[in-house]
Structure 1
C-alpha cells in the first residue's frame, strides 16, 4: 500500500488550484421510466480524463459522499477525473429485479454511463472507468463490474456487503429475491462472492478494504481468501474501524488513490 499512501500524502500536502464543480442533475432512466438524481463532481477546467462512479449504501442517497467526504473534490481538482454519485434507491442493492420496477443495474451500467460521457465529455474507454462504493454500494460496485466487464476495467469496495447470505433477514434483501431458505439459487446469483469465477483473467483491477470492527469484516476476509485461491489479482486493505463515516472518511482516500493510479496507467504495448 506504499504507493497509495504516497499518493494520499502528496494530495493532502498541496493546495487545490481549481475549485471542483458540484452539479446535481436528474438523469432520465428509460428502463425505470423516471428521473434519478445524481451528483457529478467535475474539474473546473479541461476535459475529464476518466470517470469514477461512487455508490452509496443502504438507506443512503446521491448526496452522501460529497456531503460526508468533501475531500473527494480535491481528488477531482488535482487529477481531473469525474466523480459520479447516482441515487441507488433506499434498498435496491443495485440489482434489476422483476416486479419491483427497479433497474439500477441497467441504469448505472448503461444509461448513466451514456449520459455522463455525452454530457461531460468523459472518455468512452473502459480503462478510464471505475466503480466503487460503501456497504450496499460496495457490493453493487463489484456486482456491476463483474457483470459488465465490457464497461468497467477498475472496481472497488469499502465495507462492502460482498456476501449477503449470512444476513438473510437484513436490509430488505428477502423482499427483493425471496426468503433465503426457499430461494438459495437466487441468493447465490445475487451475491458477489459467488460471481468471481466470471472475472476474466487480468480483466478487472480490484481494490477492497474493510474495517476490522465492521460486521462485514468476515465476509470481506472470505472474499479476499477466495480471490487469492482463484488467483484473481487484487489489493486488499484492512484498518481499524467500524461500519460508519469515521471509517469511510479515511478509506475513501485509499480508494481514490487506487483509482487515480489505474486511470494514469498506460495501456500495455501489443
Structure 2
C-alpha cells in the first residue's frame, strides 16, 4: 500500500517566490527620476514650471558623467506636465541615457517673441533661458551636438522655429504633428494675440511659417526629423514642408504613420524621435554611460 505524499506548503511557497524573483529580474526596471523645477525668465519677469526627467544612471553613477539633453515642447492649451501625464516618456530617458526637459510654453504662445504682445517672449525663454538654467543645474553635455528640441502640434512649430533661430544651440530638431503653417490655424483662439491680425499682418504670419522658411534648414546643419499622422489635419502642410526640403536637398527623416492629432499617436511617435536624437548624438561622438562601463 502506497503512502500518500505529504503536501509541503513552505517548499512550494519558496519555489513560487524564487520564480517570481526570476521573473522580476527578466523584466527591465525603470528607475528614472522626475523632478519639477521652477525656471525664472528675465525676459518675462516671472518663473514657470518645468518637468525634468533624469535617467536612472544619473543618480547611480559616479557623479562625473554628463548627459545629452532633449527638450520636448507641449501643444496649444497644454503645460509642462502634459508629456509625463499622457505618455511613458520617462522610460526613454533610461533607455537612451538622456535628460528630458519639458518646459512650459504658455497656452497659446506659439513659442515666439511676439511683437504684438511684449509680455510673450517664449522663444527667448525656451531657446535661451531654459537652456542656460538646465546647463547650470544639471550635469549636461552643453553643446549643440548633444542638444535636441522637438514638440507636438504648436510645440512642433515652436521646436523648428527655435532650432532655426538658435542654430548655435540645437544640433538636432524634430516636429510631431507640427503646425508648420500657422496660417492654417487662424481660427485658433488666442493665436492672433501673438501673431497679430492675419489680414493686417499677413507678412508676419508668412515670414514665421516653417513651410515658407524651409530654405533656412539648407545651411543650418541640423539633424532633422518630422512626422505626422495620416489622419491628422496638419498632414498636408507637413507633406508640403517635406517636399520643399527634398527640393532643397536638405537631409531629413520624414514619416507618416496611422493616427490623428491624438495622444496615442504622439505617445508612439516620441519613441522614434528620441531614438533619432540618440543616434544623432552618437554620430557626433557621444558614448552613453552604459557603453563606458
Deviation for aligned residue 1:211: 0.3
Q: Is the 8 A contact 1:155 1:205 kept in 2?
A: yes
Paired residue total: 253
Alignment-derived partner of residue 9 in structure 1: none
- Matching of residues 70-81 of structure 1 within 5 Å: 70=88, 72-81=89-98
- Matching of residues 87-236 of structure 1 within 5 Å: 87-98=104-115, 99-201=117-219, 203-236=221-254
Structure 1 unaligned segments of length 5 or more: list them. 1-13
Structure 2 unaligned segments of length 5 or more: list them. 1-25, 59-64, 286-293
Alignment-derived partner of residue 5 in structure 1: none
SS in 1 for 2:79: coil
- Cα separation, 2, equivalents of 1:137 and 1:162: 10
- After superposition, what is the alpha-carbon deviation per residue over 1:195-243, rounded to whole angstroms, capped at 9, x for unaligned? 2222243610100000011010110000101111111110100011110
Deviation for aligned residue 1:266: 3.1
Alignment-derived partner of residue 55 in structure 2: 43
Moved more, 192-201 or 205-214: 192-201
Q: Is the 8 A contact 2:218 2:249 kept in 1?
A: no
If the length of structure 1 is used for normalisation, what is the TM-score?
Answer: 0.89
- Cα separation, 2, equivalents of 1:69 and 1:48: 25
If the length of structure 2 is used for normalisation, what is the TM-score?
Answer: 0.83
- Cα separation, 2, equivalents of 1:109 and 1:202: 16
- After superposition, what is the alpha-carbon deviation per residue over 1:69-115, rounded to whole angstroms, capped at 9, x for unaligned? 12x22221122210000010000000111334011100111111111
Compare CA radii of gyration and give the structure with the larger one: 2
- Cα separation, 2, equivalents of 1:186 and 1:149: 21
* 2:59 paired with 1:59: no
